[in-house]
Structure formats: C-alpha cells, structure tokens
Structure 1
Amino acid sequence: MTAPIRVGFIGLNPDSNWAATAHIPALRSLGDSFEITGVANSTPESGRKTAQALGLKHAFDTPADLVRSPDIDLVTVTVKVPYHFELVSQALEAGKHVYCEWPLGNGLEEARKLATMAAERNLVAVTGTQARAALEIRHLRKLIADGYVGDVLSTTIVGSGGNWAYQTNAALYYLFDKTNGATMLDIPMAHTLAALQDVLGRFDVLKATMMSNFDTVTVTDTGEKKPKTAADQIMMQGRLASGGALAVHYRGGISKGTNLLWEINGTEGDIQVTADLGHAQMAQLHIKGARGQQSEMADLMPDASLYNGQPDFAGARNVAGIYAMLARDIQEGTSTAPSFQDAVALHEILARIETLAATDG
C-alpha cells in the first residue's frame, strides 16, 4: 500500500478562508491518499489553534520550520498572492512538492522564476486552477471533442466578479489594489480562461479594454472610502486557434441576471453554460445544449453518479480533482495536474491583456 502524502499548510484557519472551506473537505474526500499533517500561520498561536481544532500532528512556529520538516511531503500555500513567491521559493528550496493557489505569482516574472526553480529541482509543482478539474468542464470538453456543436464558430463569456465594484469589507479590500495581483482579471477571469482553453484549445488575444466605473470603494465594516485601482470592467476579443471568434466580458459586482453565461456556437449546435457567479473555479456549472433539429436547449450535465462521494461544494470538489491528479504525479511520475509551466502560460495571457488594454487606452 502506498503511504499517504503528508500535507503541510501555510495559511489555514479552521473558521474561515478558502483553505478551510475547499482544501480540507477536498483532501478528506480522497481517503488515504493524503494526510493533513501540519500547519504554519502568521503567528505560532494561530498555528496551534488550527492544529488543535483540526487534530493535526504539528503546529510549526514559522513557514520555514514547516518546509524543513521531514514529516512534510507536500506544501500547500493558501495565503494572499503577495506572499506566494517567498513561501513557494522556500518550499522548493527545501525540496518539497508544492500546491500553490492561483495566481502563482504577483505577475508574470515571479511565476517564471518559480517555474524555473521547480523544473531545476524536478519537483511536482501544481497551481490551483481548479476549474480545469471540474466534472462539468471535463464533460464539456468531451462534448466539443465528440462534435456536439460541429465546428466551433464562436464563443462568448459574460461573468460577474462578485467583488471589484463599489463596496467590500476590510478583509477583502486588498483585492481592489492592483499591485497585490489579486484583481478580477487575475482571479475569476483567469480561472475561467484556463477552463476555456481546456475545452476549446489555445487562443490569441487580439484586443482588450480595461476600465473602471468606480475609483473608490466603501469598506462596509467602517464606512470608510478607500482608493480602488483594480478595473471593474474587462473586455477581451480574440480568435481560437481552431478559427472561431472569442469574446469575454467580466464586470465587477453581482448582476440580478445571469452571473456566468458561456455560449459555444457551432455549425451543428449550441451549448450554454451558466452559474450564479463568474468564478468557474468554485461555482456550480450547469450545461445545456441543442443540436440538429432541436428547437430548445436540454440538460447536458455529466452523469449524476460521477458526483457520488464528492464534496457538495463545487469549489471543494474541483480542488479534490487537482489533488487527485497531484497524487498520481507524485506517485507515478506523471504530469497530469496544472503545472507551474501551465501557470506561466496563463500569466502570459493576462500580461497580454493588460498590455493591449494599456495600448487601447
């Protein structure tokens, strides 16, 4: 029997945040493949509180102590983006496999440096673009590959970011400062573009516009108005490598209509993907389609049995999919999970969008 992969978290609190709501149920759904072994937080006290609450063996005083520990095989980094480079670098230098939440780095150059470090050390280094592991995205990819819509003529996405409009709370204000690398472009739009590439293949970005309806944001905890430098309207036009047209529009806040609408139009049929939030990585996706002589769209969801034993929360279910691939890569020497090199390619797309938007503006 293969020994479980021992996971150490940098940035895990039992009461809140993405690690607790997505990573912990994801790992627990995978049986004996993983053992959640230790944690290091911003303070030793926080780490001890988390370890006690979750029944972990180790609470490390610092991230450096965690990555050096012989009891840790895989380091999972789930802190804010500005800290990714330092912490992931430490883990790689210590010879540990890494799961880093997306974005990999605060910008393209940091991502490139981390990818080089991982390759030089021959480590399994994975980035959490977990929409790529969604059951619905895998099913959608098969539908397209099997010719459900025929030749793809065009695809259009409209998504709501949830954040990045005119108000937020203090804990999320950092998202509204573009220097932190956690903007609407960096997070929901990037996650969705990663999934789009898996379904429809590579694409070229031809034109982009980024703008803001709001230059300040109200922090609801205090009523204070603070500067907002992250765009709340992002529009991109492109061309699929297969020849089809591509249009993407992400908008800040929440719409009273459909908050994720993705249409794929082809010579033989059409597919529509919807969700209640523009974050394809954590929203429950719904797929409908029609082809041939059909006049109304019908359900095209994956077989219901595929969801058996999976976490109810789509975000946790998708993260579990990434961990399952990661385990196979560590144990069998494969390369199936989204790698740091994949992350660099996605960062390059975002940099291209920003460059074209600056030129357009």
Structure 2
Amino acid sequence: MTNKKIRVGIIGLNPDSQWASKSHFPALKHLSDDFELVGVANSTYESALKTANALNIPIAFKSAVELIHSNEIDLVTITVKVSSHLNLVKEALYAGKHIYCEHPLGVNLKETMELAELASKCNVVAAVGTQMPFAPEVIYLERLIKENYPGRVLSTSLIGSGIFWSNETMASLYYMYDKAAGATMLNIPLAHTLTGFQKVLGPINTLKAKMISNFSTVKIKDTGEVKPKTAEDQIMIIGDLKSGAAFSIHYRAGMSKGTNFLWEINGTEGDIQVTGNLGHGQFAQLTIMGARHDEKTMTKLDPPRELMAGLPEGLLARNVANLYKAIAYDIRNNTHTAPSFSDSVSLFTLLNAIEASGAAAS
C-alpha cells in the first residue's frame, strides 16, 4: 500500500458512546487524507445499522467476523471490552489485516504474549492504543528532559485519580471492578500513564508496591444491587529508574475535590510540574509548569505550535489521531513507530511485577 487511503473498519462504535465516537471517529475524519472509515460492526446488526446511519458510514456489517474478512477493509480497529480482544485480534491477524486494538491488548500477560507471538509471524502493523506518549505535552516533556531543562533528574513523583473503582458504579461498568475482566485501575489509567511516564523519563529499574482495597463491595446505582469488588482502589509504588532517579506513584479510586493529576520532576537545575484534570493520562488535559536556575516561581511551558499542527481540536481525538498518524506511517513505510504488541507484553510484565510486589506486601 503506497498513497492509497487506508480503509478502516471499527468494531465497537456507537454514536452514543463516550470513547470511540468521541475519539476514533473524529480522529479518522480529521485524517481523511490517509484514512477512510468504511465500515462498522457492533454486538448486533441493528446496532451497526444505527451507527452507520447516524455517522454516515458506508457499510454496516452483520458481524465482527464479516468486517474482518471483508475485502473492503485494510485496518481493523477494535474498541470493545478487553475480554473480547483475544478472539477478535486473532481473527484479524489470521485474515492478514492491520490492527489497532485498544489497550489492554489481553486480559492478562498470557493472552498478551499469545497475541504478540502470533503478530510477530504476520506481515501486518499490529498496534495498541496506549495514547499518552502521543500527547503533544508528553512529546514536549520528553524534549525538555533531553534538553536538560531540569538538569540531571533526581526524583519524580506522580499522583492520579482513577475516576472509577470506588464503592459505587453503574451496571454497564461493573466488569471493571472484577480483576478477572482485565480492566482495573492498575490495567487502565495507571498502565496508560506508565507508558507516558517512561517515554519521558526512561524505564523503571526496581520497584516495591502496595495495593489496598478500602471497599470489598460495590453498589450498582441503577439496579440497587450490591456486588463483590475484587479490583484494588489504592495503588502505591516506589523505586528507581534506570537513570538512577527515585520515583513514587500513587493512584487512588474516584475523583478528588483537590488534585486529580500531579506529576513533578525534580532535577539539579530546576523543576517541572505537570497537572491535569484526570488521572487518565491518555486523555487528560495536561498543563506544564517549570522553573530553573534562579527563577523563584514557575511559569507555563506550552508545547510548540508544530506539535499541535495537523491534529483535531478535541482533546479525546487529538492523541488518538497522533497514534493513527504513526500507524499510517508504519503501513506505508514498513516501520515500527506505533506501540506494538511486543510493547504491550513489556507493559503487562511491569503491571504483573507491581501486582506481585503488592501481593507480597499485603
């Protein structure tokens, strides 16, 4: 494939949803020089028809399998629950299609490794939606560190709110409170943030963790039921980076009336502070402040305009669009700039190390 548009089919797109319709759909529309959104498949054909009609998508497929095997589709985007990823991704790999699968790739390390091994044998681009490293603010942060804005990094600390995983939820979201479903606070907001964290400061070297559950049950607000909760609601990690810098991270469930995202980087020549409205670094609005040398107060450090060029205005679509641009580049140039399935194995290995350390400390 050279300059032809990449034809995309999305599995799991609903005009009323809060993610795919507000991120993938506008991102693809904005990148119309590279992509053409051709089809959609949902849990039912009726749902796919509704989406196709509402969003002016040419083809409503009767099933995800039909979409995957269609000659009209080059890239399969998978935005359904993680429990369905394994079978859908395998089907797409066997069909020889390029893939953009939302993170987490699998419900556990075993599934993730299985998919990575299969992808390594296929001549396709197999990307995972860990979008935080593609945020212009994160790209700029990495540049600031490489340019020694704070000098040698001595330590870094990060605190984030997970929004969910407290003691109340809706029936449609209850699966996230079950560790076996693979969509916990560790696997989603903290995992996404760790990809951006390590993009900027480099890999984690050693760690110790503590994971706590303040609530063993969760109330389902729309049904009144009370159900078991196995996903932890407090995650604390300390350790050192490969660079030698000390780090600490604390994620807590729910939302704070104070700070919901605060990341500080302290160096020999200055300090950087990153704040956000949410602990989900992959779609938080991040603000960078900094001070160095003899400066007494921090000033705002805005990413250069060129990092924002060619991106949609909407925050949810912006980072996703940047990742799609990497996928298009990889498809056209046989490169590996987008997050790969192998990257997901590395991330899940880190998550398992956090969980194992937390279990040992309990």
Which of the five TM-score ranges fits, normalised by the shorter chain?
over 0.9
Q: Distance in 2 between matches of 1:200 and 1:81?
A: 28
Q: Distance in 1 between matches of 2:111 and 2:310?
A: 37
Query: Is 2:164–2:253's contact at 8 Å kept on the other side of the alignment?
Result: yes
Q: Distance in 2 between matches of 1:220 and 1:304?
A: 44
Q: Which residue is 1:197 aligned to? A: 198
Query: Is 1:205–1:352's contact at 8 Å kept on the other side of the alignment?
Result: no
Q: Which residue is 2:144 aligned to? A: 143
Q: Which residue is 2:92 aligned to? A: 91
Query: Is 1:13–1:19's contact at 8 Å kept on the other side of the alignment?
Result: yes
Is 1:185 paired with 2:194? no
Q: How far does residue 303 in structure 1 lie from its aligned partner after superposition?
A: 2.5
Q: How far does residue 310 in structure 1 lie from its aligned partner after superposition?
A: 2.7
Q: Which residue is 2:283 aligned to? A: 282
Deviation string 1:116-155 (CA, Å, 9 cap, x unpaired) is 1111012100000000100000000000000001111011
Three-state SS of the structure 1 residue aligned to 2:254 is coil
Stretches of structure 2 lacking an aligned partner (at least 5 in a row) = none
Q: Distance in 2 between matches of 1:216 and 1:40?
A: 34
Q: Which residue is 1:17 aligned to? A: 18
Q: Distance in 1 between matches of 2:325 and 2:196?
A: 18
Q: How far does residue 171 in structure 1 lie from its aligned partner after superposition?
A: 1.5
Q: Which residue is 2:329 aligned to? A: 328
Stretches of structure 1 lacking an aligned partner (at least 5 in a row) = none
Query: Is 1:169–1:220's contact at 8 Å kept on the other side of the alignment?
Result: yes
Q: Distance in 2 between matches of 1:330 and 1:312?
A: 25
Three-state SS of the structure 2 residue aligned to 1:187 is helix
Query: Is 1:205–1:236's contact at 8 Å kept on the other side of the alignment?
Result: no
Three-state SS of the structure 2 residue aligned to 1:171 is helix
RMSD after superposition: 1.1
**If the length of structure 1 is used for normalisation, what is the TM-score?**
0.98
Q: Distance in 1 between matches of 2:224 and 2:165?
A: 17
Query: Is 1:205–1:353's contact at 8 Å kept on the other side of the alignment?
Result: no
Is 1:257 paired with 2:258? yes
Q: Distance in 1 between matches of 2:216 and 2:305?
A: 45
Identical-pair percentage:
55
Q: Distance in 2 between matches of 1:314 and 1:55?
A: 23
Query: Is 2:311–2:322's contact at 8 Å kept on the other side of the alignment?
Result: no
Q: Which residue is 1:294 aligned to? A: 295
Q: Distance in 1 between matches of 2:200 and 2:302?
A: 15
Q: Which residue is 1:45 aligned to? A: 46
Give the partner amino acid of 1:80: K
Q: Distance in 2 between matches of 1:276 and 1:17?
A: 17
Q: Distance in 1 between matches of 2:223 and 2:175?
A: 15
| 1:300-319 mapped onto 2 (5 Å cutoff) | 300-304=301-305, 306-307=307-308, 310-319=311-320
Q: Distance in 2 between matches of 1:105 and 1:315?
A: 23
Q: How far does residue 47 in structure 1 lie from its aligned partner after superposition?
A: 1.1
Give the partner amino acid of 1:15: D
Deviation string 1:185-220 (CA, Å, 9 cap, x unpaired) is 000000000001110011124211111111111112
Give the partner amino acid of 1:181: G
Query: Is 1:115–1:341's contact at 8 Å kept on the other side of the alignment?
Result: yes
Q: Which residue is 1:134 aligned to? A: 135
Is 1:215 paired with 2:209? no
Query: Is 1:205–1:349's contact at 8 Å kept on the other side of the alignment?
Result: no
Give the partner amino acid of 1:154: S
Q: How far does residue 317 in structure 1 lie from its aligned partner after superposition?
A: 0.2
Q: How far does residue 108 in structure 1 lie from its aligned partner after superposition?
A: 0.7
| 1:59-98 mapped onto 2 (5 Å cutoff) | 59-98=60-99
Is 1:271 paired with 2:276? no
Q: Distance in 1 between matches of 2:101 and 2:35?
A: 16
Q: Please, which moves more after superposition, 270-279 or 219-228? A: 219-228
